[in-house]
Every structure is written in structure tokens, then in C-alpha cells.
Amino acid sequence: MNSLVFSLYADPVFTEKMIKNLQCKKGEIILHQFPDEENSITIKSDVKNKNIILLAHIEKPNFKIVTLIFFAELAKELGATSITLITPYLAYMRQDNRFNPGEGISSIYFARLLSKYFDSIITIDPHLHRYHKLDELFTIPGIVLHATKPIAQWIKAHVVHPLIIGPDNESKQWAQEIAQYSDAPFVILSKTRQDDHSVSVTLPELDQYKDFTPVLVDDIISTGKTMMEAVKELQLLSMKRAVCIAVHGVFAGDAYQELLATHVSKVVTCNTIKHISNEIDIYDLIIEHLLKVFSLEK
Ligand code: R5P
């Protein structure tokens, strides 16, 4: 096997799981931070003629991205054949439009930047809304894996009589699929965003679902305001306590604690970003995909 797995800012447990299942060798990196907070990176392993798999958790990306770029530059200088970037959460995808005159479209710039340094990218449910496919943004091959099946399995195992609820139109792609896989009905709410920290949500008629457990599903919980507003509206209709599920638990500031303090019974996320709420594993999806790729290469 000519692949080496490196890990940057990823949890060692996730990295070990990948290495064990892929039966690859682990690449060794030394990161050093100077007193002025600048970075230096050393690759200890021999990467010459190797295909590199870099697992990187890049939530809060601004500092981390510099290290990723230094890693890619160095690995190529040292003779690596290719670098596949695995970022379970793909940051910067939500700014997908020029909402105000003169505003930058960060998703495009971020995708172009990664495309310059990596040969391919694998990610889990990126926020593709106005853009529908990674290749509308990236110039390198991109693979999108979906957490909808593992989420549906979790719901089937833990929730009695679920009603799947997408809190906004953008969440329909996940809500619909999760509902299908968990044999549950679904509804989509309507959301208006006022600013980063405030949204309003309106509910459709839910009388027929009074005995169901509301299960809110979204791709990202950031400030948690989307979930909180939806939960508030459900409570006003005397619905049961909601279960909130997100693929990516970004949880800006105290969002997790604030959400837990509302009319919810549980807040659950996938392990694309390490957090106490991680109950749904997506690493099997990544491993399964890579094993398929490896068997095709043989
Ligand atoms: C936006 O369109 C996403 O799908 C989520 O609804 C959004 O990121 C949630 O953000 P927040 O938790 O800050 O309301």
C-alpha cells in the first residue's frame, strides 16, 4: 500500500480508527509554534512517491489553514505523489452569494485556495445550497459523503414516533432523506434570517403530529438560533420536547448550553467536529469510501 495517513487538528481517536481500518501507515509530523505564534512544520516520514491522505478538522479555520498549506507545500517538495484532503466539516461554505454590494463570496475563495494545494477532497455533507455540487466551487475532484443514513439509524434506535423537521428550506435535502431512511413523516419550516444572531421561523399546521416526537435536523448548528427559534415555536404549539440533530456541531460561543436550556430533550451531532454531543459516527462512511478506492487501485 502506497498511502500514508497524516492528521492535522484531528482527534487522535478518529485518526487511529482510520489507520487501523485502512491498514495504512501513519505519517509523522512535528508542529512547532514560535513565541510570536508563527508556525513551523516538519514531516518526519518519508513521503517520496507516496499518496498522502490528510485528515484535517478545520472548524475555526483561519489559523489552521496556514498549517494545511505549509503541509501541502512541504509534502510536495519532499516528493509526495498526491494529497487527498479529508475534512469532515468543510468550513466557509455558507457564504455562497454576494448578499450585499461589494461583499466577498468566501465559499468560492476558500474552495479555490484548497484546490491549489490539494489533489482531491473528501467531505461530509458540506453546506451546498446555492451551489449544488463541489465541482461548481472546486477545481479538484471532490467526494461528498452523506450522514443521512447514520442519522436515520440513530433516530430509529433512540426516538419513539419521530416527526422529522427541517427548520428551513435549505435543510430539506437532509430532512427528506432522513425521514425516508427512518420511515417517518417530515415537515419543513420557513425561516427568515435577520442577522448572524437572529432568525424567525414559521411552522405549518402540525395538529396531526401532536403525539409525535419532533426531531429537528439541520446540517449545521452554529449560534443555535435556528434550532432555538424552531423549538420555541414547537413549544408554543404544545408539542413534545424536541430532539435536535446536526451533522456539524459548530456551536459558536455558548450555543450548546443555550440550546440545551430550551424545550429540548437532547442535542446530538455527528463526529465531524469533536464535541460532547457526538453520538453519530461518520468515520465508517469515510473508511468505506477509501477502502473502495483502494480496491479499485489494486
Ligand atoms: C443555514 O442555512 C444552515 O443550514 C443552518 O440552518 C445554519 O447554519 C444554522 O445557523 P445558526 O445555528 O447560527 O442559526
pLDDT (tens, 9 = 90+) of the chain, 298 residues, equals 589 999 999 999 999 999 999 999 999 999 999 999 999 999 999 999 999 999 999 999 999 999 999 999 999 999 999 999 999 999 999 999 999 999 999 999 999 999 999 999 999 999 998 899 999 999 999 999 999 999 999 999 999 999 999 999 999 999 999 999 999 999 999 999 999 999 999 999 999 999 999 999 999 999 999 999 999 999 999 999 999 999 999 999 999 999 999 999 999 999 999 999 999 999 999 999 999 998 877 6
Q: Best substitution site from 222, 248, 267 to test ligand 1's pocket, by max atoms within 8 Å of Cβ?
A: 222
Helices 283-297 and 12-22 pack at an angle, to 10 degrees, of 30
CA 226–ligand 1 middle distance (angstroms): 6
CA 222–ligand 1 middle distance (angstroms): 6
Instruction: State residue 153's pLDDT score.
Output: 98
Atom of ligand 1 nearest to the CA of 168: 6
CA 220–ligand 1 middle distance (angstroms): 5
Q: Best substitution site from 129, 169, 221 to test ligand 1's pocket, by max atoms within 8 Å of Cβ?
A: 221
Contact residues of ligand 1, CB 6 A cut-off: 94, 168, 170-171, 199, 218-226
Euclidean distance between CA atoms 222 and 237, whole angstroms: 25
Give how far the C-alpha of residue 274 lies from the chain's centroid of Cα atoms, to the nearest Å: 11
Check: pTM over 0.85? Answer yes or no: yes
CA 197–ligand 1 middle distance (angstroms): 10
Instruction: State residue 198's pLDDT score.
Output: 93
Q: What are phi and psi of 186, to 5 degrees?
A: -140, 155
Euclidean distance between CA atoms 4 and 52, whole angstroms: 5
CA 256–ligand 1 middle distance (angstroms): 14
The protein residue with its alpha carbon nearest to ligand 1, atom 3, reads 220
The protein residue with its alpha carbon nearest to ligand 1, atom 10, reads 222
The cell for 174 is 437532509
Euclidean distance between CA atoms 277 and 243, whole angstroms: 12
Q: Best substitution site from 128, 225, 226 to test ligand 1's pocket, by max atoms within 8 Å of Cβ?
A: 226
Atom of ligand 1 nearest to the CA of 197: 13
Instruction: State residue 296's pLDDT score.
Output: 77
CA distances from 277 to 160, 244, 252, 286 (A): 20, 10, 14, 20
Euclidean distance between CA atoms 19 and 53, whole angstroms: 10
Instruction: State residue 58's pLDDT score.
Output: 96
Atom of ligand 1 nearest to the CA of 224: 12
Of 151, 165, 176, 76, give the one whose Cα is nearest residue 116. Answer: 76
CA 263–ligand 1 middle distance (angstroms): 19
Q: Best substitution site from 219, 267, 277 to test ligand 1's pocket, by max atoms within 8 Å of Cβ?
A: 219
Atom of ligand 1 nearest to the CA of 255: 12
CA 129–ligand 1 middle distance (angstroms): 12
CA 183–ligand 1 middle distance (angstroms): 25
Per-residue exposure over 71-93, b if at least 16 CB sit within 10 Å of its own CB, e if not: bbebbbeeebeebbbbbbbbbbb
